[in-house]
Every structure is written in C-alpha cells, then in structure tokens.
C-alpha cells in the first residue's frame, strides 16, 4: 500500500453574521492509493466541507484552525496543502492531482462550450499536451467510460446528453488529467438505480486501473457498502466512527451508525419497518456540549454524554469509535 493522503486535526469554522459555525471539528483520516473511502452522514454533517478542504476550495469566510494538517503524497514528494496560498500554487492540486465530481454534472460543464473543448482546455492547463494529443486523449477517455460514438459526443454540449451520459462525461473529464485523488460528492444520487450501479462499477474499475484514491461522499450507507473499502461516519462536524466497510457495516459500534443502518431498506426482510434516526441535527450555531450526538442518542448514558466529548476507542484493528459506551475509564 502507498500512502496518498494524511489528514490530521482538520478543523474549520465559517464566519457568519450570526457567529462562528463549526463545520468540521478535529477530523483525521488517511487514504492509500487504490483505496475508496466513504464519507457518510446526514445533510449538514460536514462531508462536503471536509472534501473541499483537501483542495482548499471552501468559501472565503472559512477559517482553518492552525493545527490542521493535510498532506498529499505525490510522485515528486509530499505537498502540504495548508501552505499553498496563491491560485497558481493551488493549481497543482485543483484539477491536477485532485479532481472532483458532483451530483449535478451540469455544474462541471459550461453550457455554451462543447464537452470536447472543455476537456481539451483542462488537459492543456494541467499537462504539457498539445491540442491534437489532448483531443485524442479526451476521446479515448469518453470511450473508456462507456460513451459510444465518443468522437461525435466530443463535439456536443452538456445539455445534448442524457443524465447518465453526462455523469460519465464528467467522470471522463475529471479523470483525463490522471488525478491521484478523486473526490466524488454524491455522484450517483440523482441517477436511477440501474445507471447508478453502472457508474459505481465504472468508478471501481477505474480505481483499479489508475491506482488512484477516492473519497466518496454520500448520505447512503448502502452505496458505501457496494463501493468503498473504508468508511468514516460523520455527525455534526465530527467523525464518530471509522474503519473498514466490512467492520463498520457488520459490527457497527456507534449508536448513530446503528441508526443509519436501521434506516436502510432490507430486501431480505420486507416486513421490517424502517426506523429513521429520531430527531433533527442541531443547528451548528447551537452545538450540544459533550458528545455531539447526545441529543438524539437512544443509548444516552446521562451526565457523561452531555458533559464530556468522547475520545476514540479502538474496537478492532483500524475500527475506531468515539462513544462513551466504549470509554471504560469515563466517569459516568
Ligand atoms: N460558506 C459557508 N458559510 C457558512 N456555513 C457554511 C458554509 N458552507 C457550509 N456551511 C455549513 O457547514 C456545515 C457543513 O456543511 P456540508 O456542506 O459540509 O454538509 P454535508 O454533510 O456535505 O451536507 P449535504 O449532504 O447537504 O451536502 C453546514 O452546517 C453548512 O450549513
């Protein structure tokens, strides 16, 4: 395994008129080349902000804590992302070593420029290819993601493609520069299930072929079970559980992860009622003291949960959980 990414103590607040919003709090994880890591959690838990931090792509009201360390390991040495300041420096990672795909592919394509011209332009910014070679590579890439008649599609505009095809074209554009890290933010949520399965299979093939790492963001643990090697479960800006997908899905430890799994439909037991996690995520301006999940937790132990932030406890190999149920030394 080759280490691709180290994220340590990522902490980010947004300055707003109402006060400081803690969007990401003390998040740490690592990613190896060829690994798919799922980042899962309900809306507002901090998944997208975490992912955008890897390229320092958050809005200008973002304030990173000085302990935040993000290091991307490239062939010619490590890049300390937090030290990159100018947009020229950041170009090394933005669209170069790191690419991002989104739920809505229209956001990636300019409406009045053909898909091909956009792919060629991106390749010319990030590589030393000439226009002829960039065109060849773009058409090869469109073909590689399963778009038939790629040279005709190359000349078309995003609105001329179906939803599934647009998603594939976006993946082709994101991967044409051969990024080391792909950030996929809910890439299949808007697709119907058949196309969703095809796009997931495609991404898995490409990880193997290109040896890149993927951070796959979704609110759906079912998609993570199909796609990822490891998973980090986020709730209200913090990671509450992380480990291999196998461990976390087979033996979930945190009451929140258990709740997310209980909310998934099961084809084996159609009579089992779906039980959504009760309650709503508190406002980030009004964060609970102690464990961030204590206001919704069915296993709440009382004072300790609303008073103390739980440390991580290792429950198996790389499987860690931040919950007082596993904190033997905690005064309850
Ligand atoms: N520019 C900003 N200014 C203020 N708050 C922001 C800004 N961007 C994000 N936030 C807040 O940061 C928190 C985390 O947002 P984030 O988009 O990462 O959540 P998410 O888990 O990706 O949710 P979703 O699945 O809805 O995208 C939210 O409370 C959000 O409102």
- Give yes or no for residue 258 CB within 6 A of ligand 1: no
Of 103-112, 265-274, 297-306, the poorest mean pLDDT is in 265-274
Q: Examine the domain organization and report whether 163 and 278 are in the same domain.
A: no
Give the per-residue SS3 of the chain.
Answer: CCEEEEEEEEEEEEEECCEEEEEEEEEEEEEECCCEEEEECCCCCCHHHHHHHCCCCCCCCEEECCCCEEEEEECCEEEEHHHCCCHHHHCCCECCCEEEECCCHHHCCCCCCCHHHHHHHHHHHHCCCCHHHHHHHHHHHHHHCCCCCHHHHCCCCHHHCCHHHHHHHHHHHHHHCCCCEEEEECCCCCCCHHHHHHHHHHHHHHHHHHCCEEEEEECCHHHHHHHCCEEEEEECCEEEEEEEHHHHHHCCCCHHHHHHHHCCCCCCCCCCCCCCCCCCCCCCCCCCCCCCCHHHCCCCCCHHHHHCCCCEEEEECCEEEECHHHCCCCCC
Ligand 1 centroid, distance to 35 Cα (angstroms): 25
Q: How confident is the model at residue 165 (pLDDT cuts 50, 70, 90)?
A: confident
Q: Examine the domain organization and report whether 252 and 319 are in the same domain.
A: yes
For residue range 261-301, what is the model confidence (pLDDT) as tens digits? 988 877 677 777 777 888 888 998 889 999 999 999 999 89
pLDDT at 215: 95
Going by alpha carbons, the residue nearest to atom 3 of ligand 1 is 14
Report if residue 234 sits inside a domain.
yes
Q: Examine the domain organization and report whether 57 and 192 are in the same domain.
A: yes
Q: Examine the domain organization and report whether 242 and 265 are in the same domain.
A: yes
- Give yes or no for residue 43 CB within 6 A of ligand 1: yes
Q: Examine the domain organization and report whether 78 and 125 are in the same domain.
A: no
Q: How confident is the model at residue 50 (pLDDT cuts 50, 70, 90)?
A: very high
Q: Examine the domain organization and report whether 34 and 148 are in the same domain.
A: no
pLDDT at 229: 94
- Give yes or no for residue 44 CB within 6 A of ligand 1: yes
Q: Examine the domain organization and report whether 118 and 225 are in the same domain.
A: no
Report if residue 332 sits inside a domain.
no
pLDDT at 204: 82
Q: Given the CA of residue 219, which atom of ligand 1 is nearest to it? A: 25
Tell me: ipTM over 0.85: yes
Q: Examine the domain organization and report whether 274 and 203 are in the same domain.
A: yes
When comparing pLDDT for 255 and 280, which is higher? Answer: 255
Report if residue 331 sits inside a domain.
no
Mean pLDDT of the chain: 90
Last residue of a domain, one of 134, 159, 175: 175
Q: How confident is the model at residue 154 (pLDDT cuts 50, 70, 90)?
A: very high
pLDDT at 126: 84
When comparing pLDDT for 195 and 329, which is higher? Answer: 195
Per-residue pLDDT at 79 exceeds 80: yes
Report if residue 264 sits inside a domain.
yes
pLDDT at 329: 57
Going by alpha carbons, the residue nearest to atom 7 of ligand 1 is 14
Last residue of a domain, one of 124, 151, 175: 175
For residue range 170-201, what is the model confidence (pLDDT) as tens digits? 988 988 888 999 999 988 776 777 777 777 88
Q: Examine the domain organization and report whether 286 and 197 are in the same domain.
A: yes
- Give yes or no for residue 215 CB within 6 A of ligand 1: no
Supply the CATH number for residue 255's domain. 3.40.50.300
Q: What is the mean pLDDT of residues 112-126?
A: 92
Q: Examine the domain organization and report whether 190 and 50 are in the same domain.
A: yes
Q: Examine the domain organization and report whether 186 and 170 are in the same domain.
A: no
Last residue of a domain, one of 175, 193, 215: 175
Report if residue 265 sits inside a domain.
yes
Number of domains in the chain: 2
Report if residue 40 sits inside a domain.
yes
Ligand 1 centroid, distance to 46 Cα (angstroms): 6
- Domain range for residue 114? 107-175
pLDDT at 271: 76
Per-residue pLDDT at 330 exceeds 70: no
Report if residue 11 sits inside a domain.
yes
Q: Examine the domain organization and report whether 135 and 245 are in the same domain.
A: no
């Amino acid at each position: 395994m080759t280490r691709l990414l180290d994220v340590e103590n990522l902490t980010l607040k947004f300055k707003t008129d109402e006060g400081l919003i803690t969007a990401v709090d003390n998040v740490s994880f690592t990613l190896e080349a060829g690994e798919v890591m799922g980042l899962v959690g309900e809306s507002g838990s901090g998944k997208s902000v975490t992912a955008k931090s890897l390229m320092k792509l958050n809005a200008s009201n973002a304030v990173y804590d000085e302990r935040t360390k993000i290091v991307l390991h490239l062939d010619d040495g490590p890049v300390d992302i937090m030290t990159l300041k100018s947009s020229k420096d950041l170009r090394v990672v933005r669209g170069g070593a790191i690419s991002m795909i989104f739920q809505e592919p229209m956001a990636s394509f300019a409406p009045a420029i053909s898909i091909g011209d956009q792919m060629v332009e991106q390749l010319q910014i990030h590589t030393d290819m000439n226009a002829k070679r960039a065109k060849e590579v773009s058409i090869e890439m469109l073909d590689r993601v399963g778009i038939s008649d790629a040279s005709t599609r190359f000349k078309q505009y995003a609105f001329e493609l179906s939803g599934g095809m647009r998603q594939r074209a976006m993946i082709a554009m994101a991967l044409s520069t051969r990024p080391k890290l792909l950030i996929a933010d809910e890439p299949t949520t808007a697709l119907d299930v058949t196309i969703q399965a095809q796009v997931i299979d495609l991404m898995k093939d490409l990880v193997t072929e290109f040896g890149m790492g993927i951070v796959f963001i979704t609110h759906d643990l079912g998609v993570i079970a199909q796609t990822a090697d490891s998973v980090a479960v986020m709730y209200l800006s913090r990671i509450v559980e992380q480990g291999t997908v196998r461990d976390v899905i087979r033996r979930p430890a945190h009451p929140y992860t258990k709740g997310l799994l209980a909310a998934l439909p099961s084809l084996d037991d159609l009579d089992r009622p779906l039980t959504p996690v009760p309650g709503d995520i508190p406002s980030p301006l009004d964060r609970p003291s102690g464990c961030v999940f204590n206001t919704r937790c069915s296993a709440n132990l009382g004072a300790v949960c609303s008073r103390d932030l739980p440390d991580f406890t290792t429950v198996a190999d790389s499987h860690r959980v931040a919950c007082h149920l596993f904190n033997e030394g905690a005064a309850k």
